[in-house]
Amino acid sequence: MFGYFLKRLFSSIPLLIGITFISFILINLAPGSPLNEWADPSLSIEDTQKIKTNLGLNDPVVVQYGRWLKNALKGDLGRSYSYSKPVTAMLKERMPATLLLSISSLILILGITLPLGLISGAKKDSFFDNFVLIFSFIGLSIPTFWLGLMLILGFSLKLNILPTSGFIDPQLSEASLWIQLIDISKHLALPLLTIVIGGLASLTRYHRFGIIKILSQDYILAAKARGISKTKLLFIHAFKNASIPIITILGLSLPGLIGGSFIIEYIFSWPGMGQLGIASIFSRDYPVIMGSIVFSSILIILGNLFADIAYTYADPRIRLK
């Protein structure tokens, strides 16, 4: 098991290098230089050239990538053009907010999907099942950013019970920890709800389908013949087997979830890495863009890795391969 883990970990290194290489080339092939955005317009052309040479912006892109990679391996992702702070420090600052949002949404999504898909699959074609199916179709089709806007419209602007955006009310910086936590969870509610509704739809559909497929297997029939109760059948026999594909689907849907939460963070001004990433795209802050890509790719690769490991754990047949 540990050997497998190490093997997978090593094989994801070339993947990460590939991702950063492609992103770096694409970003740097762009016409125009980030200096045009950031430099003082009164700078002379010679001075601009000097700064470019100093920053290494005149070297071929591949050389620039090599230098970036060498520094990145040492844990140095460069300095932001706009804030002249180290990129790693900026990402670290943003990490807690992003992790809070993504982990709580993952927990909620799984916590709702598993029972919902189970009941829906077990009561195939019932009113409840149709309701879940239609809901999941709508969830798949609704643009998450618009869903976010509609939630703001309903809960913040019309009902006035939840804040529109931000992380915590700045006036509460002196307040007790409890009051601060309550305020943070109020701010968390709408972005969380948006991500959960968006993420729930496809997973529930897959899980329902998995349950239906398993319930039609021979061993379920055999268990039924042995007089095992329906609850036991569903929860012990069907549930565990159907949760295996869910783990994989969850791993596969990570890029979408992470990409989607970027937009959500942006809409709700949630001070996470996604908001930073989008802001850096707009200001063409290349080192921060690269840092965000590296970070989200690592999250995606790790997510897939854990999904694979959970998979081999849940299904011993795969371990042998």
**How many other CB atoms are found less than 10 A from the CB of residue 124?**
14
**Quick one: which of 61, 100, 142, 223 contacts another protein (CB under 8 A)?**
142
* Closest to another protein by CB, 48 or 283: 283
**Interaction between residue 248 and another protein (CB under 8 A):** no
Q: Which is nearer to another protein, 106 or 184 (CB)?
A: 106
Minimum distance from residue 46 beta carbon to another protein (Å): 26
Alpha helices in the chain (DSSP H): 2-28, 35-38, 45-55, 61-73, 87-122, 127-141, 144-151, 177-215, 218-225, 230-232, 239-252, 254-267, 273-282, 286-314, 316-319
Q: In this complex, which beta carbon is closest to another protein, that of residue 62 or of residue 172? A: 62
Asked if 274 and 263 touch (Cβ cutoff 8 Å), the reply is yes
Q: Which residue has the tokens 């590296």?
A: 294
Q: Which CB atom, from 228 or from 255, has the smaller least distance to another protein?
A: 255
Task: Compare residues 2 and 127 and give the one whose CB is closer to another protein.
Answer: 127
Cα 223 from chain centroid? 39
> Residue 321, interface with another protein (CB under 8 A)?
no
DSSP assignments along 89-156, one per residue:
HHHHHHHHHHHHHHHHHHHHHHHHHHHHHHHHHHTTTSHHHHHHHHHHHHHHHS-HHHHHHHHIIIII
Instruction: Please say whether the beta carbons of 77 and 71 come within 8 A.
Output: yes
Selected range binding another protein among 93-101, 151-159, 180-188, 238-246, rule: CB under 8 A: 151-159
Whose Cβ is closer to another protein: residue 12's or residue 180's?
Answer: 12
Q: Does 13 bind another protein (CB under 8 A)?
A: no
Choose between 24 and 167: whose C-beta lies nearer to another protein: 24
Binding status of residue 6 toward another protein by CB under 8 A: no
Under rule CB under 8 A, residue 160 binds another protein? no
Q: Report the SS3 class of residue 79.
A: strand
CB of 146 to another protein, least distance (A): 4
Q: Are 113 and 198 in contact (CB under 8 A)?
A: no
What separation in angstroms does the CA of 73 have from each of 11, 78, 183, 250? 16, 11, 39, 29
Return the structure tokens found at 318. 């795969």
Q: Which residues, other chains included, contact 34 with Cβ-Cβ below 8 Å and sequence gap of 6+? A: 81, 284, 285, 286
By CB under 8 A, is residue 127 in contact with another protein? no
**CA angle (58 as vertex; 52, 64 as ends), nearest 5:** 105
- 102 counts as binding another protein under rule CB under 8 A: no
Q: How far is the CB of 274 from another protein (least distance, A)?
A: 9
* For another protein, the closer CB: 255 or 271: 255
Cβ–Cβ < 8 Å for 48, 39: yes
- Considering only residues 280 to 309 of the shown chain, the ones binding another protein according to CB under 8 A are 281-282, 284, 289, 292-293, 296-297, 300-301, 304
User: Does 150 interact with another protein (rule: CB under 8 A)?
Assistant: yes
Chosen residue from 6, 9, 13, 26 binding another protein by CB under 8 A = 26
The residue ranges that bind another protein (CB under 8 A) are 15, 18-19, 22-23, 26-27, 30-32, 125, 130, 137-138, 140-143, 145-146, 149-150, 152-153, 157, 209, 252, 255, 258-260, 262-263, 266, 277-278, 281-282, 284, 289, 292-293, 296-297, 300-301, 304
